[in-house]
Amino acid sequence: MIPKLPKTLLYLLIALFAINMAQSYFTELIFDEAYYWYYAQNMAWGYFDHPPMVALMIKLSSFFFNDELGVRFVSCLLSVATFLILWQLIDHPKKERYGVQFFVLVFSMTLINAYGFFTLPDTPFLFFTALFLLVYKKFINKPSVLLALGLGIVMAALMYSKYHAVLVIIFTLLSNMKLVFNKYAWLSVVVALICYTPHFLWLYENEFVSIKYHLYERPNRAYEFGDFTLGYFVNLVALFGLTFPWIYKSLFKTRAKDQFTKALLYLTYGVLVFFFVSSFNRRIQTQWIIVISIPMAIMAFNYLLENENAKKWIYRMGMANIAILLFLRVGLIYEPLFPIVYETHGNSKWVSEIKSQIGDMSVVFENSYRNAPMYAFYSGSETYSLNNIMYRQNQYSIDNSESKIQHKKILYVSKYTDNGDISFQWADGTKSYGNFIDNFESFRKLRSYVTEKDIKIKEDKELTLKVFNPYEMNIPLEKIKLGIAYLNDYRQVMETLPLLTTQRGEKTVFIKAKDTTRFIFKLPKSKMEDPGFFKITISENGLYMGINGDNIKLD
């Protein structure tokens, strides 16, 4: 049910929808959007980096529009819906007279503004966080079976949007521990788990690849106060722009006068503390903390309704924020307004430049889950990201895209070559090359496993390597070379070496289809003083070493 709105606010929301639709139409995709568009070409219950909600949004958008609007239409709808839910979450008796101030407050929040049209996992995350708080508010006032069902479905939708949603659910529970003894609350948990079961099954079938990557495989680097912790506080400012002093003051001034306000406080402080602690381990990205925008919008609006000084300054600074944001949004379309080349500039141009030289030929991009889907979106051609040991795994590592370009003539594009069969310019003006391969063949799905545990770098003992071939064909050993990569304690590849092996058991000249071949090897001596991890890699047909195994800790 759409809440009753002041006329001015209604007109502003209609204008917001129109602006976001126009922005979506005229703005080229950013790389992450192209990547999620690629998700949507093969709908599944999960993807390498994220749950599937963002792919579902794009699939639904494509039923109504083509091109960029076919990626962003649902985002435009969810943006306005988020404003409507936030308005409904505010109970203050004065709110009807301050619809304009409400709009300025929320629209001036930088990432809420941006995600009004960009289609990223945070777009549904913001919407479902607001919806979760609305259902939760009704639930704590008068729990019922119907509200428990609704709460469970919304919690599942939150988790289908982004894994960070677990923080929203946990901190809300911590604000109201009595829920542990509430039968309706337990019903909502059961409903959420049932709804989320397809994603659990997908994770199981894919060896929990998403969880393993985010928790154990993702590279990091040594702690830097300026970039990690200080950078976290910079992100807190960037989240709200010029209104940040008054918005954070509203947080400090808000008291837990009821159970719902207590939930808002727990959610906000919980996320802030969680990522503050995390900042001592890794660099915190601004969008990771975006969820606090929802509870903060509610608390800040309630605060400004009671404080004339805050009302005045949030409106003034909010309008300044909006002016800056609108200028930048025009710059997303019209490149000369930007001091730098941004992701929305010139991608269709470099795609057209390549396509004009090769026609509908498939293109393999070395180490680029960004360029591969961008080329596919604007060209309509098959693409593949060939990921090697110096890069990272992504959706191309686990889907069937590799099979679509096997034994075809393809263009191989690498930023590491200084000559080739064709040349072109990227959006930033740098020149790159592509080389033709007449019969492309890769085996990036070969998996390597080391059976021993507690391996010490200085021990000269034999280790067992198992190589599993998931393909339907036998792979001749002469086509592959085994290697090893040594990583530092931050999981950064520092050294690669060939790996000398002998076969264990029955000797064979190929790795049988759907079978495992065992090898014996010793760790080659590393130039590193104290490597933290190693990884077994496989090179095929002269291609650079692939990402074929997990990081293995060295003692």
Tell me the pLDDT tens digit for each residue of 332-360: 999 999 888 999 999 999 999 999 999 99
**Mean pLDDT over residues 278-282, rounded?**
94
SS3 call for 273: helix
CB contact set of 523 (below 8 Å; sequence gap of 6+): 455, 457, 459, 463, 484, 534
How sure is the predictor about 517, in pLDDT bands with cuts at 50, 70 and 90? very high
- Give every strand in the sheet of 383-386, ordered side by side: 383-386, 362-366, 410-414, 431-437, 422-425
Measured distance CA(391)–CA(369) in Å, rounded: 10
Specify whether the CB–CB gap between 381 and 361 falls below 8 A.
Answer: yes
User: How far, in Å, CA of 78 to CA of 57, rounded?
Assistant: 10
Report pLDDT digits (tens) over 2-57.
668 999 999 999 999 999 999 999 999 999 999 999 999 999 999 999 999 999 99
Q: What is the pLDDT of residue 214?
A: 86
Please count the other Cβ atoms lying within 10 Å of the Cβ belonging to residue 533. 21
The values of phi and psi at residue 489, to 5°, are: -65, -15
The domain ranges of the chain are 7-335, 347-437, 447-553
Compute the distance between CA of residue 440 and CA of residue 424 in angstroms, rounded to an integer: 22
Lowest mean pLDDT among 2-11, 145-154, 356-365: 2-11
Q: Which two tokens stand for residue 290?
A: 């975006």
Average pLDDT over residues 372-386: 98
In this prediction, residue 1 carries a pLDDT of 53
| CB-based burial label for 23 (10 Å; 0-12, 13-18, 19+) | buried
CA dist 361 and 52 (Å) reads 30
Measure the CA–CA gap between 353 and 107, rounded to whole angstroms.
Answer: 38
The full length of the chain comes to 555
Whether 311 and 143 have beta carbons less than 8 Å apart is answered as no
| Tens digit of each residue's pLDDT (9 = 90 or more) over 431-476 | 999 999 999 999 999 999 999 999 998 888 999 999 999 999 999 9
Q: What is the pLDDT of residues 400-428, one digit of tens each?
A: 999 999 999 999 999 888 899 999 999 99
Contact (CB, 8 A) for 58 and 40: yes
**For residue 285, what are the CA distances in angstroms to 239, 276, 514?**
11, 12, 41
Residue reference for tokens 């990583």: 487
pLDDT above 70: percentage of residues in the chain: 99
Q: Give percent above pLDDT 90 in the chain.
A: 93
Question: Closest Cα partner for 300 from 310, 313, 287?
Answer: 310
User: Has residue 481 got a pLDDT over 70?
Assistant: yes
Class of domain 447-553: mainly beta
* Residue environment code for 432-458, b if the CB has 16+ CB neighbours within 10 A, otherwise e: bbbeebeebebbbbbbbbbeeeeeebe
Banded pLDDT at 225 (limits 50, 70, 90) = very high
- As a whole number, the mean pLDDT across the chain is 96
Which pLDDT tens digit goes with each residue over 196-223? 999 999 999 999 999 988 888 888 888 9
CA-closest candidate to residue 478, choices 447, 508, 436: 508
Alpha carbon distance 498, 159 (integer Å): 42
Least confident range of 231-235, 245-249, 502-506: 502-506
Nearest Cα neighbor of 123 from 39, 55, 215, 59 is 55
Which tokens hold the place of 420? Answer: 């080739």
Query: Of all helices (H) and strands (E), which one includes residue 434?
Result: strand 431-437
Residue 482: both structure tokens together? 């085994």
Q: Mean pLDDT throughout 521-529?
A: 94
Q: What is the DSSP string of 2-71?
A: PPP--HHHHHHHHHHHHHHHHHHHHSPPPHHHHHHHHHHTS--S--SSS-SHHHHHHHHHHTT--TTHHH
Q: Are 338 and 329 in contact (CB under 8 A)?
A: no
E strands of 454-525, at which residues? 463-469, 475-476, 480-487, 493-498, 501-503, 510-511, 515-521
